[in-house]
Chain A
Amino acid sequence: MEDEQILDLYFSRSEQAIGETAAKYGHYCHSIAFHVLENQEDAEECVSDTWYSTWNAIPPKRPAPFSAFLGRITRNLSIDRWRRTRAFKRGGGQMTLALEELAECVSGTGSLENDIIRRETLAAVERFLGQLSVAERNVFLCRYWYLESTQEIAEHSGFSQTKIRTMLHRLRGRLDTYLEKEGLR
């Protein structure tokens, strides 16, 4: 079913909307949640929460692209869940590794609670992403948006893992410099 038809179902408050969404984007959302949580049950619960949040958000929203909207909700819910549960767990996971890597690009102080600063920072990050080549941007987002491992990125990009790691290292350096220059680090 086309996204527009699914959205029409939400607008008509038909519960079939959730079924169609799950059929079309269930795997996609589960993949996002699992990369963050690395736990099958937690990921499934997060995906269920995504359908619930979507049901509440539409209408009035009519998101486009729909997939990115769903992915964003899943990712946010997964990260929140990860933060809640990490106190009971130890060690690695892509989430921990990604945070360690991103620590290179931030000061670790201050806060984005101020909405204006947050928007400004988001705009700067988008400008930064806009300056990258398509391949660089995709690799960066696979790592820090989808939280994929370098091995996974290497598998579907055709690049070697070494190249991915090198590319990410350089991109983090560039982001650090960019945010520093913008006074947003």
Chain B
Amino acid sequence: MTEMELLKLLGDIQGSYIQQADAFREGRLRIVKKKRPVVTALKILSTAAMLAVILGAGYLGMRDLASKAARETTGETMALQAAATDEENAETDWQRMVLRDGIRFYNGDFANSYNSYTVSEFCGVLAKWMGTEEAPKPARYTKLDMDGDGLEELVVELEGTGDLPRLVLGSFDGQIKGEIYYERQMSHLKADGVFYASGGIGNRFWARLQRSADGWTVENLEGDYTDEPDAVWTQWVSLGTVTESDATSQNDNEKVTPELLMREASDDLAFWVDGAEFAVSADLFIGDGYSLYIPKEGWVHEVIDYHGTTADRWVCADQTLEEFGLNSMLDTTNREALRKFYDQQYPTRLTVLFRPGMDDQALRDWVMEANPDWDMTQNARGALFANGATVEFFRTETGVFVCIMETPTFGTEGLGILGAMYGSFSGWPRGISGYLTGVSDRDAETTFMMNRYIEAEQRWEEYPVDCRLYRTYGYSTYIPKEGVVFRNADGEVRYGGYAASIWMLEKNVNVWFAVVKLDTTNFSEAIQWGLSTAGSDYNLYEDKSGGVSGDSVDGTQFLSISFQEKDFNGIYAVIRNYPNAETDNLSAYVKIMADQFQAE
């Protein structure tokens, strides 16, 4: 065959491929929503089965899957291994079991002696004690080392009627104990367990818990912890209170219709269970910038804060906890019972979130950092796999959608339907107004043409600087892809008393760009801050842009601080610094970052 014959042969391929490619050319990623053909369903099955085996094998400590599979490990052996792992998990993962009512904890706040409760029972007792009809329920939680002993405690925030306390739970010699702290006793919880407390009128202080034999006392701390990073909370989906109406998909993107997306409002999701193909009715969920089909029944939709990023999450509500232990781990080698047990430990759920303007590897690193418990491996397509989780990435013009599928270790059914749900995922076509508000007008990557002076050759040269969009809460800018180091990667950086984001040039660390969010909305105060921060080392003057700029006293450095307001919520200081010797050269890099800065 010749290349021309191959080229002409391609002309005769099926029309649907040509249509799809044309849609792709126009920016519409998928134009035809066809019912999933069997071959695709088979792919789902094979992937599901393979992943389930890998997940199961990985969880049971069988690292060498191939050799273990060859040995035809019996179910009984697997069960024994799993039971051993249970005991390990009891020590390390009791927090998850407590949240799922799988372990009781002791509390003495509502009686003269300690009583044991599940979280649900505790909420019932709390409601009775407060005189409210409806029991509160867990809203979100965080795992922190509250008392500095190196072990993580569980802090649960409740939602419901009245002034509800936070519940702090810890393990004391294998027994779980819980204590309540009201808002005035514990607020502004920080990532290192420090919190703000009140000991009465005019007596407010930073504090942390001090562990004693059977509980905690509150220890006053010196110093101001205001600027320390806040605790990261995870939304908790209370499966026990799911109603049929809760399970129905909801969305806020009313302006975007299925017709606009060229998708059916309802469709079937096909997947395989035990060698048989199943189809479930599903409704189209239209999220911000994407759409996918969610089964009409049995799934709960929540909007959560996923490690600082808003995310849509669907949790399979078809999980019960009736048969399992209270304050003890499962004492059985029955394979079916173990399977159910693991199903409870690992909820079946799909999480979708959007991360703008990040390169693929940085995004994967972020996912791995957000989930340190997952021992992830990356496949050739770039997807991540871990015990009980699969993470897929879907690139759009402005960033990447991350789809996180979490499934029980043995849950082939869960993975099957999750795979079908993910398979129906599609980004919105271009041109829909409101597409990812705030990012639609900025490309994920771009190139700026800059000029530099070649001293040796006594001439100017134009050169391209490839940049990627950096977008974080409140602002975005373009950062050169090469030659720039994000200083904060080594830890928090402060500038003028505030947390700062700083980028430095590898070639010369005196060439740097920084962003600082000031807590004032007054430009005069902002300018004063700039002048006082630069201090006597610089001669700064107010410039045309309303910022301040000028040379250092010794004439070697140039510093510029401009200001941008953001929704009356504070002012951003955009700072660039470089040696005067780099005015016609490396300063171009910081100029790009400063000029492209946008408060959002």
Contacts and interface: CB of A to CB of B under 8 A. Distances in A.
A52 interface: no
B15 interface: yes
Interface in B1-55: 1-22, 24-27, 29-30, 39
A129 B7 contact: no
Nearest to B359: A160
Contacts of B1: 106-112, 121, 179, 184-185
Interface string A147-185: 010000000111110000000000000000001000011
Nearest to A117: B1
Given A65-B19, A142-B24, A118 B3 contact: no
A122 interface: yes
A112 to B, nearest CB: 5
B5 A76 contact: no
B300 interface: no
A126 B11 contact: no
Contacts of A28: 22
Contact of B20 (A108, A137, A159): A137
Could you say which interface size class chain B belongs to? 35 or more
A86 to B, nearest CB: 11
Nearest to B395: A158
Interface in A108-154: 108-112, 118, 121-122, 125-126, 129-130, 133-135, 137-139, 141-142, 144-146, 148
Contacts of A57: none
7 contacts: A28-B22, A65-B15, A98-B7, A106-B6, A109-B2, A145-B11, A158-B396
Given A67-B19, A68-B15, A108 B7 contact: no
Nearest to B400: A158
Interface of B: 1-22, 24-27, 29-30, 39, 381, 395-398, 444-445
* Across the A-B interface, the 4 shortest Cβ-Cβ residue pairs: A68-B15, A138-B24, A141-B21, A158-B397
A105 interface: yes
Nearest to B32: A65
B434 to A, nearest CB: 19
A67 B12 contact: no
Contacts of A142: 21, 24-25
A76 B10 CA distance: 10
Contacts of A83: 4
A106 B5 contact: yes
Contacts of A79: 4, 7-8, 11
Given A65-B16, A69-B15, A130-B39, A105 B21 contact: no
A185 B2 CA distance: 9
Contact of A134 (B3, B4, B13, B30): B30
Given A69-B15, A106-B1, A125 B30 contact: no
A11 B411 CA distance: 55
A179 B1 CA distance: 10
A63 B14 CA distance: 12
Interface SS of chain A: helix
A156 B22 contact: no
Contact of A122 (B12, B17, B396, B444): B12
Nearest to A75: B11
B26 A72 contact: no
B13 A126 contact: yes
A156 B15 contact: no
Contact of B11 (A76, A138, A139, A160): A76
A118 B157 CA distance: 67
A105 B22 contact: no
Given A72-B12, A126-B14, A108 B25 contact: no
Contact of A138 (B9, B14, B21): B21
A160 B13 contact: no
Contact of B2 (A67, A98, A108): A108
Contacts of B26: 156
Contacts of A107: 1
Contact of A145 (B5, B21, B395, B397): B21
A158 B13 contact: no
A102 interface: yes
B5 A112 contact: yes
A129 B17 contact: yes
A172 to B, nearest CB: 10
A69 B16 CA distance: 11
B18 A156 contact: no
Nearest to B426: A134
B18 A71 contact: yes
A122 B14 CA distance: 10
Interface string A58-73: 0000011101110110
Given A106-B1, A107-B1, A159-B395, A141 B444 contact: no
Contact of A141 (B17, B397, B398): B17
A72 B11 contact: yes
Contacts of A130: 39
